[in-house]
A = this chain, B = another copy of it.
Amino acid sequence: MRDPFVVVGGDAAGLSAASKCKREDPDREVIVFEKGQWVSYAHCGMPYFVKGEVDTLDELLSLSPEEIDERGIDLRRGHEVLEVDTEAETIAVDGPDGRFEQPYGDLLIATGAHAVTSPIEGHDLDGVHTMHGLDSAAAVRAHLLDPDEDALADMGGEDFVDRDLVERYGRMDPPETVAIVGGGYVGVEMAEAFVAQDLDVHLFQRGGHLVPPFGESVADVVESELREQGVTLHLGEEVERLAGSEQVDRLVCKSGDALDLDCALVGIGIRPNTGIVEGTPIELGESGAIAVDDYGRTSVAGVCAAGDVAEMRHAVTGEPDWVPLGLTANRAGRAIGQSVAGDSEPVGDIAGTAVLKAFDQECGRTGIVDEKRAREAGFDPVTETITSRSRSGYYPGAAETTVTLVADRDSGRLLGGTIVGTDRAAIRIDILAMALEEDATVADLERADLAYAPPFAPVWDPVLTAAKVLRGQL
């Protein structure tokens, strides 16, 4: 199909698609509309920018607007797409010069997600942050600086950043006590960042454990680690409201417990930005994200969706799922760009593989590790957890490594797993991710000829030991 390939959203999925399409079909017109100023940036690097390990915002950009231009992509920043008309095959765009209609030949919706802050009352007070988008990261870092430091000059990103926001937070006194609301990825990573900045850090989690997608065996280790690093955990505490006159100064839980503070970070989840498909025939899936097929196509011909706004098929259940992660967005975008250019490429399945640094603990998870979830998907889950060493016991640096594996009793199929430890633990989750991609059984995993050398792994890698024990239970 000719006419332009129009992409809504200038981050991982959108620009991967635009770049791949242009590379495969250089004559195709490719237009990318981005509501904000930032494009192609590394969400996952933001906590390390606040921590101070990444010096400037610019370092978090994968591509500059100039590089995007060099690829022949027509990037329009500051252009918000308001509506999609799938009949007319046009979108309504609100740009710096007003509203206009843009026809499309192929359309990719890659509008991403937004941070949830409700139902927490007071989330709009000064000093209450989220960690979603580089402006939010810039605001947190400006808040941490002394007012006499020049926040704007020090953090880079001058051409893009919300200067008013940064300057406003730059003028505030740096906080001493921060409450993190939510104990998922963002909460744990930001706890590390705030501890590095010498704040008194309190983390509130509604449920009984941190990092729920990693299951209890990982959560136990992460919780111990955070406490050892000086974070005060408030588990099983639901935050009701944040209070203050203009700037936040108090947090109140449903239990009645309260904390005086001068900064809060809310990380209780994200939701897909599906606003522009409301009222169109483009269907959402059960998760609330846009439903797509194996090629990222929505229910309307010519319209694809990818990244945090779209569902993907789960490799284990075979069902649509919504697990918004970086590689998924990049890969789906790239595949759609290739397909749009004429060479059909599936977007691939996801296994929900994720890794997380919790201070010195490396955590990994993949597949289905929650037994309830496994049963809902029609499996009869069996779970085993083992703890062994990351290296030969006599070799310096051998560290306790805990592996949990879940398998289906009847078929012996591996459904998922988690890992936690301080020595090369996280990257080992990729062994399981590869196994899931191949629908491997626990017996297959147990037989895999994995690496052994004293500095890197014991004779029986912790993953093999876990497989051996789990297979004994099947």
Contact = CB atoms under 8 A, between A and B. Distances in A.
Q: How many copies does the complex hold?
A: 2
Interface stretch (A262-270, A283-291, A449-457): A449-457
Given A48-B454, A424-B424, A459-B326, A449 B349 contact: yes
B444 A42 contact: no
A100 interface: no
A134 interface: no
Interface in A427-461: 427-431, 433-438, 440, 444-445, 447-457, 459-461
Contacts of A53: 395-396
A94 interface: no
A328 interface: yes
A307 interface: no
Most central of A12, A349, A394, A428 by chain B CB within 10 Å:
A394
Given A44-B453, A355-B456, A435 B434 contact: yes
Interface string A382-407: 00000000001111100000000000
Contact of A364 (B348, B451, B461): B451
A435 B438 contact: yes
Given A42-B392, A431-B431, A456-B426, A444 B438 contact: yes
Contact of A450 (B327, B394, B444): B327
Interface in A198-251: none
Given A436-B449, A449-B349, A54 B395 contact: yes
Nearest to A60: B394
B356 A453 contact: yes
Main secondary structure of the interface of A (DSSP, over half): mixed
Contact of A349 (B59, B354, B447): B447
A357 interface: yes
B444 A437 contact: yes
A273 interface: no
A315 interface: yes
A463 B436 CA distance: 16
B434 A445 contact: yes
Interface residues of A, number: 66
A272 to B, nearest CB: 19
Given A42-B392, A392-B42, A430 B431 contact: yes
Interface in A138-166: none
A408 interface: no
Contact of A449 (B45, B348, B356, B449): B348
Contacts of A434: 431, 434-435, 438, 440, 445, 448, 450
A356 B452 CA distance: 9
Contacts of A117: none
A459 B44 CA distance: 10
Contacts of A435: 434, 438
A350 interface: yes
B54 A456 contact: no
A331 B450 CA distance: 11
A450 B353 contact: yes
Given A355-B453, A394-B54, A459 B327 contact: yes
Contact of A48 (B60, B350, B395): B395
26 contacts: A12-B459, A44-B453, A44-B454, A45-B392, A45-B454, A315-B449, A325-B452, A326-B452, A328-B449, A331-B447, A351-B448, A354-B453, A355-B453, A362-B455, A362-B456, A366-B449, A424-B424, A426-B451, A426-B453, A427-B451, A430-B431, A430-B448, A433-B448, A434-B448, A437-B447, A437-B448
